[in-house]
């Protein structure tokens, strides 16, 4: 799993979203076909991590305007869900994003 953090740029958003003030960070997940050829498996991983990140950042206002990108590596398909969530938490801690 790889984590990248960047300052948000509202010019990259769609026109209707540019004027909205952000109250939290934006998170994106990249899960390629190398992780799993089956979209069902990739979507399960995506839902698992999105829910986890939503719980982590829902009440945090100090990250407003930041964008996070998480990329899964091919070996993530064989990992247990708890192992993936622990790795995600350790990445957030090492980036200084975990309270």
Identify the pLDDT of residue 99. 59
Residue 26's region, left for phi above 0, alpha for psi from -120 to 50, else beta, is: beta
Does 38 reside within a domain?
yes
Does 84 reside within a domain?
yes
User: What value does the mean pLDDT take over residues 72-90?
Assistant: 91
Structural domain tally of the chain?
A: 1
Does 82 reside within a domain?
yes
Does 96 reside within a domain?
no
Residue range(s) defining the domain that contains residue 72: 2-89
User: What is the distance between the alpha carbons of residues 44 and 40, in angstroms, rounded to a whole number?
Assistant: 6
Does 78 reside within a domain?
yes
CATH number at residue 10: 3.30.230.10
Edge-to-edge strand list for the sheet holding 26-30: 2-7, 66-71, 26-30
pTM, full prediction: 0.81
pLDDT digits (tens, 9 = 90+) for 26-79: 888 999 999 999 999 999 999 999 999 988 888 777 877 788 899 999 988 899
């Amino acid at each position: 799993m790889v984590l990248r953090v960047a300052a948000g740029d509202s010019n990259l958003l769609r026109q209707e979203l540019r004027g909205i003030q952000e109250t939290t960070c934006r998170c994106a997940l990249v899960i390629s076909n190398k992780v799993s050829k089956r979209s069902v498996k990739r979507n399960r991983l995506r839902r698992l991590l999105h829910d986890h990140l939503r719980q982590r950042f829902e009440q945090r206002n100090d990250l407003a305007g930041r964008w996070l990108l998480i990329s899964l590596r091919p070996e993530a398909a064989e990992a247990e869900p708890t192992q993936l969530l622990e790795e995600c938490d350790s990445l957030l801690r090492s980036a200084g994003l975990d309270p």
